Amino acid sequence: MKNALTVDLEDWYHICGVAACADPAGWDAFESRVAQNTDRVLALLRRHGARATFFVLGRIAEREPALVRAVAAEGHEVATHGHIHRRIYEMTPEEFEEDLLRSLDAIGSATGLPVVGHRAPEWSMRPHTLWALEILRRHGILYDSSMVPLTRMGSPGFPVNPGPVPTPSGDIFEFPLTAMRCFGENIPFTGGLALRLTPYFYILSKIRRMNREGLPAMVYFHPWELDPDPPRLPLPPARRFMTGFNLQGAASKLDGLMRHLAFVPVREFVPA
Ligand SMILES: [Zn+2]
């Protein structure tokens, strides 16, 4: 049984909902650490023979095309994470489409390969933004990985398992955030802060149990989570916790999961 491994390829200051990082015009003032951190990700994957999907920010592909080419050259899938890291629910359908097309253009120019996958910044698909799926499908995107089946984020009505979702332009395959059932709630445990908080052996045994039931899990992380000395922004306490808690733990947990589980890009789960 194979699982999906995904990396949201963005820099340390691409944080939604923080005024100091919201305007792309100000991004050049921040130290760029994406190349060195992505090198760490590539080395980790190489060590385990794991292949992943990299959801790349269009703006990064524009500024660092050689980095994105290097990712593709190592056999990883390059997909889109939008252009300037805006949440779907903060855009109109027209703005979403424009942002998507800019990212597809930048990523396509960097790699010369078609892009068939999408993940929204901060898992920002909501029941009232499902119009985005039709726009994605119309522009050649075959799968999306932006739905979170949680009460506090996304929607508890979103699918828990991967599968097709109909749109007026044809079906799109959705691979939602992996969650486990606990006390009547869906709880995330395979990426970001949830992975850093959950004990390693618990994550591993939960994924193994899913695999025995014939279900793939999806693990996700960001290059900045492997940065041994990340710059700090003056963030509100909840945000500081989200971005800074137990970063050392992330690297060792990811290393262990890759040692014990087989990982492939999301594209390999999409029916031909
Ligand atoms: Zn992101």
pLDDT by residue for the chain (272 residues), tens digit each?
Answer: 999 999 999 999 998 888 888 889 889 999 999 999 999 999 999 999 999 999 999 999 999 999 999 999 999 999 999 999 999 999 999 999 999 999 999 999 999 999 999 999 999 999 999 999 999 999 999 999 999 998 888 999 999 999 999 999 999 999 999 999 888 889 999 998 899 899 999 999 999 999 999 999 999 999 999 998 888 877 777 777 777 777 778 899 999 999 999 999 999 999 98
234-272 burial by CB neighbour count: b if 16+ within 10 A, else e?
ebeeeeeeebeeebebbbebbeebbeebebbbbbebbee
Question: How far does the centroid of ligand 1 lie from the alpha carbon of residue 9, in Å?
Answer: 7
Question: How far does the centroid of ligand 1 lie from the alpha carbon of residue 2, in Å?
Answer: 24
pLDDT at 165: 97
* CATH code, domain with 54: 3.20.20.370
Report every protein residue that has its C-beta within 5 angstroms of ion ligand 1. 8, 10, 121
pLDDT at 164: 97
Task: Kindly state the tokens that stand for 124.
Answer: 């920002």
Question: How far does the centroid of ligand 1 lie from the alpha carbon of residue 59, in Å?
Answer: 12
pLDDT at 148: 95
pLDDT at 166: 97
pLDDT at 242: 73
Question: How far does the centroid of ligand 1 lie from the alpha carbon of residue 159, in Å?
Answer: 21
Q: Domain residues for 209?
A: 2-269
User: Please, which residues have CB within 8 angstroms of residue 78's CB and are 6 or more apart in sequence?
Assistant: 53, 54, 56, 68, 71, 72, 107, 110, 111, 113, 115
pLDDT at 228: 84
pLDDT at 230: 83
Question: How far does the centroid of ligand 1 lie from the alpha carbon of residue 14, in Å?
Answer: 7
Question: How far does the centroid of ligand 1 lie from the alpha carbon of residue 80, in Å?
Answer: 10
Question: How far does the centroid of ligand 1 lie from the alpha carbon of residue 167, in Å?
Answer: 25
pLDDT at 217: 98
Question: How far does the centroid of ligand 1 lie from the alpha carbon of residue 125, in Å?
Answer: 13
- Rounded to 5 degrees, φ, ψ at 6 are -135, 145
Q: Is 53 helix (H, G, I), strand (E, B) or coil?
A: strand
Question: How far does the centroid of ligand 1 lie from the alpha carbon of residue 213, in Å?
Answer: 30
Question: How far does the centroid of ligand 1 lie from the alpha carbon of residue 245, in Å?
Answer: 17
43-62 burial by CB neighbour count: b if 16+ within 10 A, else e?
ebbeebebbbbbbbbbbbbb
pLDDT at 247: 74
The Cα 216–Cα 257 span in angstroms is 14
Task: Kindly state the tokens that stand for 237.
Answer: 């306490």
User: Please, which residues have CB within 8 angstroms of residue 115's CB and are 6 or more apart in sequence?
Assistant: 78, 79, 80, 104, 107, 108, 140, 141
Question: How far does the centroid of ligand 1 lie from the alpha carbon of residue 161, in Å?
Answer: 22
Q: Is 81 helix (H, G, I), strand (E, B) or coil?
A: coil
Is the torsion defined by CA of 6, 222, 123, 86 positive or negative?
Answer: negative
Question: How far does the centroid of ligand 1 lie from the alpha carbon of residue 212, in Å?
Answer: 31
pLDDT at 246: 73
Number of domains composing the chain: 1
